[in-house]
Amino acid sequence: MDLDALAALAGTLGPESTGSAARRPGSAGPAPARLFSTWEITDRILPMAPNHLRRSLRANPDWPQGRSQEDGRLRWFTLDEVHALRRAFAASGGARHLPDRPPGAPLILTLVHPRPGTGKTTTAAHLAQGAAMAGYRVLVLDLAPSGRLSQLLGAPDPAPALPLLAAQAARHLRDENRLRLSRGEPVLTPDADLDGAEVRAPSPTAWAGVDLLGGGLTLAPADQKIAGWQHLIRSWRPWEALRAGLDAAGHLAPSDGPALLSPDAGYDLILIDTPPALGPLTLSAVIAADILLMPFAATSAEIAATSRGLTLLRSEIAAIETREGLAARALGETPRRFTWSALRTLLTRFDPATQTRAATGIQTQMGETLLMPRQEAVPLLADPDGPGTIYGLDYRTVGRDRHAALRRDPDAIQAAVHALMAEVWREKLAEAALDGPAG
Ligand SMILES: Nc1ncnc2c1ncn2[C@@H]1O[C@H](COP(=O)(O)OP(=O)(O)OP(=O)(O)O)[C@@H](O)[C@H]1O
Ligand SMILES: [Mg+2]
């Protein structure tokens, strides 16, 4: 068995594209863009009396009118049309339909847990879809080689995320080479990834208002690549690279208020899903974050893993701080401390029959760090052929009452996270005001 045999074996399974299997009929393929009825819109997304929506549509023939389906009475809208309705209502005085979006740069929320299967990806998908349904514009970074989040969002083959970091490394390499040339020293040779690092525009998803950068299996060797670049370019700090890359790509541009899902507006939220590892890629997503969110279940194994995970995270980041500190002191600068605006934990796959006592204990121990709402275990989320998220579910398959009951947990979690985001934006505004206009 040699390398050519590996390639030949790969060839027997069809095209190289990692997304191709996802599109094969019968497999758990990309969630198709689903439609939203006047019931779901007025019940959940733009709360109002259904009659008010009907009257407003009649009075404004230029607004999206949706289309009727077999059942006749209801009209169905794409999410893009729902966004247009939100903009229209907001413009005609319906300020309560605007999301709470104080001015400032988009917030970065990173989901992290080194243990596999704690619910990072499922939570990320609900947060992305929920934020879009609330009127926020979202950029998702799917940094997990499983690519499951990309699949849940209906875009299994998105523009790659790794060039955000590679382009930063390449920039440092060029700076370093400039210095080397001026000193008459041999230059460093970039590898193919650095040489051709092209930061592409995020891909649209099946969820209007949610864009995506990912990479799936091509992200599997990301940590080794990053370590290699770091070894080559000693002045490059990979832990800063993700935020710097997002900034350089213009994704961190501040906004004055709700961008309101207009396609050319900037993002409100950058949501990062990480693999169950604490390699350089995950650490750079953790260090970039304004808000860290750790989902886990109230089982003894996951409680223990969460405690160990937090300790590990602390020691990995402390090691980076120490390294930064040595460099800063050598240059007479103040050593940098890494801080976050908020760290929150979330109970997922919760079973009220067996885990209520454990959950109450965790709540007492963790205080406000634990988000109050819990995501109960729901069989349809564990079903590989299911919609993957509750928000991806067409309510006609389960009925209105069941759908409303299923939505209760993710809706409560959305509300808690959106309130936290608004709090963080306001804190940042207050800090900026204290720093003064010179800062
Ligand atoms: N509330 C829930 N109820 C039932 N099953 C759930 C729930 N949330 C997640 N799951 C299932 O648990 C499994 C792990 O969830 P998920 O993929 O979100 O975890 P993860 O932390 O992203 O895993 P990994 O670390 O491997 O990426 C999946 O099969 C998912 O469908
Ligand atoms: Mg995952």
Calpha distance 347→376 (Å, rounded): 8
pLDDT score of 17 more than 60: no
Query: Contact at 8 Å (CB) between 398 and 118?
Result: no
DSSP state string for 366-413:
HGGGB-S---B--HHHH-TTS-SSSTTS-GGGT-HHHHHHHHHHHHHH
Judge if the beta carbon of residue 121 lies within 6 A of ligand 1: yes
pLDDT score of 5 more than 90: no
SS3 320: helix
- In this prediction, residues 142-165 reach a mean pLDDT of 96
Centre of ligand 2 from the C-alpha of residue 145, in Å:
9
How would residue 33 be classed by pLDDT, with cut points 50, 70 and 90? confident
Looking at residue 32, its pLDDT comes to 61
SS3 92: coil
* Nearest-ligand number for the alpha carbon of 119: 1
pLDDT, tens only, 299-344: 999 999 999 999 999 999 999 999 989 888 888 998 889 999 999 9
Mean pLDDT of the chain: 91
Judge if the beta carbon of residue 124 lies within 6 A of ligand 1: no
Measured at the alpha carbon of residue 255, what is the angle toward residues 41 and 95, in degrees to the nearest 5? 40
To test the ligand 1 pocket, which listed residue (121, 351, 389) has its Cβ within 8 A of the most ligand atoms?
121
pLDDT score of 27 more than 50: no
pLDDT score of 244 more than 80: yes
Judge if the beta carbon of residue 146 lies within 6 A of ligand 1: yes
The strand pair at 107-111 and 159-160 is best described as: unpaired
Looking at per-residue confidence, does 260 or 267 come out higher?
267
Q: Which atom of ligand 1 is nearest to the CA of 295?
A: 21
Calpha distance 242→40 (Å, rounded): 37
pLDDT score of 224 more than 50: yes
Percentage of the chain lying above the pLDDT 70 cut: 93
pLDDT score of 438 more than 60: no
Query: Contact at 8 Å (CB) between 104 and 422?
Result: no
Q: Which atom of ligand 1 is nearest to the CA of 388?
A: 31
pLDDT, tens only, 364-373: 999 999 999 9
Looking at residue 14, its pLDDT comes to 66
Q: Which atom of ligand 1 is nearest to the CA of 409?
A: 1
Calpha distance 99→255 (Å, rounded): 13
pLDDT score of 291 more than 70: yes
Looking at per-residue confidence, does 144 or 12 come out higher?
144
Measured at the alpha carbon of residue 192, what is the angle toward residues 187 and 196, in degrees to the nearest 5? 95
